Amino acid sequence: MIVDSASKRVHIIQGEYKVISDPNVVLSTILGSCVAACMRDPVAGVGGMNHFLLPGSASPGSGGGDATRYGVHLMELLINGLLKQGARRDRLEAKIFGGAKTIATFSNVGEQNAAFAMQFLRDEGITVVGSSTGGDHGRKLEYWPVSGRARQYPLTGAETQKTVALEQQKPAPVSRPVESSIEFF
């Protein structure tokens, strides 16, 4: 399906989240071992996406862990952002994407990310209506937060390696939703 030319694209990078109530916005991201949680309240007409690098949260005194890299921090920010926009926790539904094992010789942090996201949602009582995790290649993800529609494209080996290199960079700290990076097409 071709995206309407009136649609706006917002790209989410590692360590970011965004909450949207505009039906003409599509959120997108590129994932390797990272995971994106896409959540929405279909009644309130609001949804969002996050993109995290590591499962769980930074351990006290770890010295290097910027909180925006960790799943627990970004999951909480996304849920709270949805609630602030009129969503109700009992109506939230989620889709989980990413978590590939992009480097065969490394531990499978992608699998740990996906398992963390699923367990977090179970613990919070949020229904998972779809997921696509694992594999050995990255993916490009598009998510329409108001309708809940999602589409993904597998990345080639070279694209996956570029994504791995980006994931290994430390993200800039983010303390609020992304307000820029809108691309009209």
Residue 40: pLDDT over 80: yes
Residue 6 placed within a domain = no
Distance from C-alpha of 138 to C-alpha of 142, rounded to nearest angstrom: 13
Q: Is residue 178 one of the residues assigned to a domain?
A: no
Q: How many CB atoms lie within 10 A of CB 90?
A: 9
Q: Which residue range(s) make up the domain with 64?
A: 16-169
Residue 86: CATH number of its domain: 3.30.1330.200
Q: What is the mean pLDDT of residues 165-176?
A: 50
List, in order, residues 6 or more apart from 150 with CB less than 8 Å away: 38, 95, 97, 130, 141, 142, 143, 144
Tens digit of each residue's pLDDT (9 = 90 or more) over 99-142: 998 776 667 889 999 999 999 999 999 999 999 999 988 999 99
Residue 185 lies in a domain: no
Three-class DSSP category at 128: strand
Asked if residue 65 belongs to a domain, the reply is yes
In this structure, is residue 179 part of a structural domain? no
Is 81 inside a domain boundary? yes
| Backbone φ and ψ of 133, nearest 5° | -130, 165
Q: How many domains does the chain have?
A: 1
pLDDT value, residue 106: 65
Active site residue 38: no
Report the predicted TM-score, pTM, of the whole model to 2 decimal places.
Answer: 0.78
* Of 19, 34, 46, 117, catalytic: 34
